[in-house]
Amino acid sequence: MATEKHPRSLLHARSFQVLAAVVVVIIVAIVLVANRSSAPTYFTAAVRTGNITSVVQATGVVNPINTVSIGAQVSGRITKINVDFNSRVKKGELIAQIDPTPYENALAAAKADLANAQAQVGVAQANVQDAKAKIEQAQAALQQATLQRDRSVSLYQQGIVSAAQRDTDVATFQTDQAAHSSAQAGLAQTEAALKSAQAAAKGKQSQVTTAETNLGYCNIYAPVDGVIINRAVDAGQTVASSFSAPLLFSEATDLDTMWVYMQTDESDEGRLKVGDPATFTVDAYPDTSYRGVVKQLRMNATTVQNVVEYDTIIEFKNSGQKLFPGMTAYVNIPVASALNTLEVPNSALRFKPSLTPVQLRTLLGQYGMQDSGNGAPQAKPAAGAHAPGQHATHPQVAGGQTNRPTTAILWTLDANHKLVPVKVRTGITDFTHTAVTQVLQGQLKAGDKVVTGELAKTASGLPGAGGGRPGR
Of the pLDDT bands very low, low, confident and very high (cuts 50, 70, 90), residue 375 is: very low
Q: Which own/partner contact pairs does 159-167 have at CB distance under 8 Å and 24+ positions apart?
A: none
What's residue 274's pLDDT? 96
Look at residue 176 and tell me if it is in a domain.
Answer: yes
pLDDT over 60 at 34, yes or no: no
Tens-digit pLDDT profile for residues 243-262: 788 899 999 988 999 999 99
Cα 45 from Cα 60, distance rounded (Å):
35
The count of structural domains within the chain is 3
Residues 358 and 436 in one domain: yes
What's the distance, CA 360 to chain centroid?
A: 50
Contact present, 85 and 230 (Cβ < 8 Å): yes
Question: Predicted confidence band at 35 (pLDDT cuts at 50, 70, 90)?
Answer: low
The rounded percent of the chain whose pLDDT value lies above 70 is 81
pLDDT value at position 31? 54
Task: Give the model's pLDDT for residue 379.
Answer: 37
**Contact status, residue 405 vs residue 341, Cβ threshold 8 Å:** no
Q: Are residues 336 and 448 in the same domain?
A: yes
Q: Pick the more confident residue, 413 or 183.
A: 413
Q: What is the C-alpha to C-alpha distance for residues 457 and 41, in angstroms, rounded to an integer?
A: 8
Q: Is the pLDDT of residue 235 over 90?
A: yes
372 and 343 housed in the same domain: yes
Judge whether residue 191 has pLDDT over 50: yes
Is residue 188 in some structural domain? yes
pLDDT value, residue 404: 57
Which range (119-123, 381-385, 403-407, 416-420) has the least confidence?
381-385
Tell me the range of 45-59, 134-148, 369-383 where mean pLDDT is highest.
45-59
Question: Which of the listed ranges 3-17, 168-182, 284-298 does the model predict with the highest average pLDDT?
Answer: 284-298
Confidence (pLDDT) at 6: 53
Assess whether 301 and 406 both reside in one domain.
yes
Task: Give a yes or no: residue 109 inside a domain.
Answer: yes
Name the residue among 416, 420, 404 with its Cα closest to residue 368. 420
CATH of the domain at 270: 2.40.30.170
127 and 176, same structural domain?
yes
pLDDT digits (tens, 9 = 90+) for 336-368: 999 999 999 999 999 999 999 999 999 999 999
Task: Give whole-number Cα distances, 364 to 70, 196, 370, in Å.
Answer: 71, 104, 6
Select from 216, 233, 266 the last residue of a domain. Answer: 216
**pLDDT for res 170:** 87
Find the CATH number of the domain harbouring 92. Answer: 2.40.50.100
Do 57 and 201 belong together in one domain? no
Which residues, listed in sequence order, are joined to residue 89 by a DSSP beta bridge? 226
**Cα separation of 199 and 118, whole Å?**
10
> What tens digit of pLDDT does each residue of 405-427 get?
689 999 999 999 999 999 999 99
Per mean pLDDT, which range of 122-131, 283-292, 314-323 is the poorest?
A: 122-131
205, 230, 252: which is the final residue of a domain? Answer: 252
Question: Which residues constitute the domain of residue 231?
Answer: 71-99+219-252
Residue 317: inside a domain? yes
Rounded distance between C-alpha atoms, residue 259 and residue 314, angstroms: 5
What mean pLDDT value characterizes the chain? 85
Q: What is the pLDDT of residue 8?
A: 54
pLDDT at 397 over 50: no
Same domain, yes or no: 233 and 376: no
What pLDDT is stored for residue 387 in this prediction?
35
Confirm whether 16 is domain-assigned. Answer: no
HEC-encoded secondary structure of the chain: CCCCCCHHHHHHHHHHHHHHHHHHHHHHHHHHHHHHHCCCEEEEEECEEEEEEEEEEEEEEEEECCEEEEECCCCEEEEEECCCCCCEECCCCEEEEECCHHHHHHHHHHHHHHHHHHHHHHHHHHHHHHHHHHHHHHHHHHHHHHHHHHHHHHHHHHCCCCHHHHHHHHHHHHHHHHHHHHHHHHHHHHHHHHHHHHHHHHHHHHHHHHHHHHHHHCEEECCCCEEEEEECCCCCCEECCCCCCCEEEEEECCCCEEEEEEEEEHHHHCCCCCCCEEEEEECCEEEEEEEEEEEEEEEEEEEECCEEEEEEEEEEECHHHCCCCCCEEEEEEEEEEEEEEEEEEHHHHHCCCCCCHHHHHHHHHHCCCCCCCCCCCCCCCCCCCCCCCCCCCCCCCCCCCCCCCEEEEEEEECCCCCEEEEEEEEEEECCCEEEEEEEEECCCCCCCEEEEEEECECCCCCECCCCECCCC
pLDDT of residue 9: 57
The more confident residue out of 220 and 139 is: 220
Residue 406 pLDDT: 87
Calculate the CA dihedral of residues 440, 443, 449, 454 and round it to 10 degrees.
Answer: -60
If asked whether residues 114 and 189 sit together in one domain, one would say: yes
Residues 273 and 351 reside in one and the same domain: yes
Q: In which band, very low, low, confident or very high, does the pLDDT at 164 lie, cut at 50, 70 and 90? A: confident
State the Cα–Cα distance between residues 121 and 110, nearest whole angstrom: 16
Does residue 33 form part of some domain?
A: no
196-215 per-position pLDDT tens digit: 999 999 999 999 999 999 99
Do the domain assignments include residue 419?
Answer: yes
Residues 361 and 429 in one domain: yes
23 or 76: whose pLDDT is higher?
76
Kindly state whether residues 336 and 265 are assigned to the same domain. yes
Rg of the chain over Cα atoms, rounded to whole angstroms, equals 51
Tell whether 206 is covered by a domain: yes
Condensed to tens digits (0 to 9), the pLDDT of residues 433-461 reads: 999 999 999 999 999 999 999 986 554 44
CB 55, CB 334: distance < 8 Å: yes
Give the range among 57-61, 238-242, 296-300, 468-472 with minimum mean pLDDT.
468-472
In the chain, the percentage of residues whose pLDDT exceeds 90 is 61
Instruction: State how far the Cα of 472 lies from the Cα of 466, in Å rounded to an integer.
Output: 17
Asked if residue 372 and residue 239 are part of one domain, the reply reads no
